[in-house]
Amino acid sequence: GMEFDKWGLPVLNERTLQSTIPNVLFGGDAAFGPKNIIWAVAHGHEAAVSIDKMLSGEDPNDRPLPAVQMISQKMGIHEWSYDNAIDPDQRNKVPWAPAEQTLTNIGVEVELGFDPQLALREASRCLNCDAQTVFTGNKCIECDACVDICPMDCITFTDDGEEAELRQRLTAPALNLTQDLYVGGDLKTGRVMVKDEDVCLHCGLCAERCPTGAWDMQKFFLEMTHAGPQCRSPGRKAA
């Protein structure tokens, strides 16, 4: 029979969403307990991939990779992407309907959502984390223009070294060890470019100032692979 855990939920393979009876799959709240609708939709897609693979005689544990694309996003026509100022505002709270209504009538939606004005304000707190700085060492002429313009002093051209020591001798020491350093080589002088990802604002000024295109701002797109021919072998394999 089917196995259940101490919470009464089915024991599942977290990758394939198969239960201990492999052709019975679960998703949504019935899979791992209460989550939100986004998880439920994702479970549905992942379970569909498992079913597609089983029907195609493939191992459902062999998951298809997502497609990843980086697309150049320098200013000019993409100027609007960099519109957001750095804003110390706290996150805006989503307004709730009065408790006397929501507690007495289960049909009343608790979260009212933002009005257009508040939604715009909330969206403008976005720090463009999807626009990444991408460095191409063999295009760099080591003019230091990006170092000069960076408002956060997070770019340093220096000799290579062990990470712990390198972190200390950057223009602004990189003290947050949970954030990787971005190190780019292939420079004509044999030095390396080191960027502290922890403090980068994704403002795009380095890419705008760079005379050779060694810095580029590239927007990150992730497209999950859904059920269908593309999830089967030899399907989409390159990330």
Q: Which residues are near ligand SF4 by CB under 6 A?
A: 133, 140-146, 150-152, 154-155, 195, 200-206, 209-212, 214-215
In the complex with ligand SF4, the residue whose CB is nearer, 25 or 146, is 146
* Distance from C-alpha of 227 to C-alpha of 232, rounded to nearest angstrom: 8
In the complex with ligand SF4, the residue whose CB is nearer, 112 or 127, is 127
User: In whole angstroms, how close is the CB of 190 to ligand SF4 at the nearest point?
Assistant: 14
User: Where do the H-state alpha helices sit in the chain?
Assistant: 29-32, 37-55, 99-102, 116-123, 145-149, 163-168, 205-209
In the complex with ligand SF4, the residue whose CB is nearer, 25 or 203, is 203
Contact (Cβ atoms closer than 8 angstroms) between residue 66 and residue 107: no
User: In whole angstroms, how close is the CB of 80 to ligand SF4 at the nearest point?
Assistant: 16
SS3 109: coil
User: In whole angstroms, how close is the CB of 162 to ligand SF4 at the nearest point?
Assistant: 23
User: In whole angstroms, how close is the CB of 208 to ligand SF4 at the nearest point?
Assistant: 8
Strand order from edge to edge, sheet including 215-223: 67-72, 215-223, 131-135
* Distance from C-alpha of 144 to C-alpha of 170, rounded to nearest angstrom: 14
User: In whole angstroms, how close is the CB of 89 to ligand SF4 at the nearest point?
Assistant: 20
User: In whole angstroms, how close is the CB of 177 to ligand SF4 at the nearest point?
Assistant: 19
CA distances (Å), origin 130, targets 82, 205, 218, 222: 11, 16, 8, 10
In the complex with ligand SF4, the residue whose CB is nearer, 19 or 133, is 133
In the complex with ligand SF4, the residue whose CB is nearer, 194 or 206, is 206
Q: Which of 28, 10, 27 is nearest to 19 (CA)?
A: 10
In the complex with ligand SF4, the residue whose CB is nearer, 102 or 218, is 218
Two tokens, residue 30: 């019935």
